[in-house]
Structures are given as C-alpha cells and as structure tokens.
Copies of this chain bind each other. A is one copy, B any other.
C-alpha cells in the first residue's frame, strides 16, 4: 500500500489559493449575469476564469511529470506516462 506524497505537494497551498480565487471569479460571473450585464463583458470575465483554470491544470501536470512519472520506474512509470498523455489530450481538446 502506498502512502506516497503527491507531485503537487510542494505547491498545495498555492494551488488552493488559486482555486479559492477561481471560485470567487465564478461567483462574479454569476453576479454579472444576475445583474444583466452586457454579454461581452461577462465573456471577458469567463476568459479570465478559463486562463486561471488552465494555470491550475498545468501546475498539476507539472507536479505529475516531476514526481509521479520521473520518480517511478517499470510498469508503474509506463502506466503514469499513459495517464499523463491522456490528461494532456483532454486538456488540449477542452
């Protein structure tokens, strides 16, 4: 049984701070719509949310490569590389 540390452990606080900010940004989008703000202004705010989430995703991927992939070997490493490429593929398409 593994009780290993995750790849993003070192950045955990930073990631949580960014997610709290993203949650706030999503609430701002909802408030803008509730107040009938102009569609284009809402879309500009949504683009900011998307960039912020991309940033969190790239941070997690980075931790995964640096620790989970590089820090493993054999079968486990092959599996983690497959998972990495699957995750990158989903990000590129999304």
Contacts and interface: CB of A to CB of B under 8 A. Distances in A.
Interface of A: 5-9, 12, 15-16, 19-20, 22-23, 26-27, 29-30, 33-34, 36-40, 42-44, 46-47, 49-51, 53-54, 56-58, 60-66, 68-70, 77, 80-81, 83-94
A36 to B, nearest CB: 5
Contact of A8 (B5, B19, B39, B84): B39
Given A16-B30, A34-B16, A39 B68 contact: yes
A65 B46 contact: no
5 smallest beta-carbon distances between A and B, as pairs: A39-B64, A19-B30, A50-B94, A43-B87, A47-B90
Contacts of A27: 23
Contacts of A50: 50, 53-54, 57, 91, 94
B69 A40 contact: no
A91 B92 contact: yes
